[in-house]
Amino acid sequence: MSAPSPNTKTASDPSTDVAPETRETDVTTGLNNLLADATVFYQKVRHYHWNVTGPQFFTLHDKFEELYTFWSDAIDQIAEQVRGRGDRPVHTLADVLDLASLAEDPSTPPADEMVEVVIEDLDALGDRVQRLADQAENAGAPSTVTALEDLGEQIEEDRWMLRAWLNDL
């Protein structure tokens, strides 16, 4: 049996045989999934902002407000990326909850547990953003890549600050 010619694709080759339209659709779907997660995260952080108590009230009340204010803008930017790709952003709460991988928090945990949950969610959001940025790069969507890289940098900064706060307890 002879070796395949250099111009022949094999089953082990990267998925370069995926049509560009499919890669575009995958990025748009990924953006809507990210939008759903961002919306759940935004509401969870608002919930924590409203309900945090204890000796760290002022510090966390302000930090949670900073976070949800940032994510309000991020949600808008993600939705605009979806619209810019010719699709509709997820917009009903029922659809958001169906698409989201992050869970709501019906409880009101102590302040340090709130921070731990926020860090866990930021970890998940950071992973999703990184995977989606890679997809967008493969799909040839530079403006989406830039937006996602900027979001990823902010997520990393927020994770670092919250982890530092937990270590100072």
Question: What are the pLDDT digits (tens) for 86-114?
Answer: 999 999 999 999 999 999 999 999 999 99
pLDDT of residue 22: 60
pLDDT above 80 (res 138): yes
pLDDT of residue 17: 41
pLDDT of residue 52: 98
Residue identified by tokens 């949950």 is: 117
pLDDT of residue 25: 72
Average pLDDT over residues 42-66: 97
pLDDT of residue 106: 97
pLDDT of residue 11: 34
CA proximity to 90, closest of 34, 155, 146: 34
Burial of residue 138, with CB atoms counted within 10 A of its CB: 0-12 exposed, 13-18 middle, 19 or more buried? middle
More confident residue, 69 or 14: 69
Contact indicator for 29, 22 with CB cutoff of 8 Å: no
pLDDT of residue 15: 37
Residue identified by tokens 């082990």 is: 12
Average pLDDT over residues 108-135: 97
Render pLDDT for 56-74 as a digit per residue (tens, 0 to 9): 999 999 999 999 999 999 9
pLDDT > 90: percent of the chain: 84
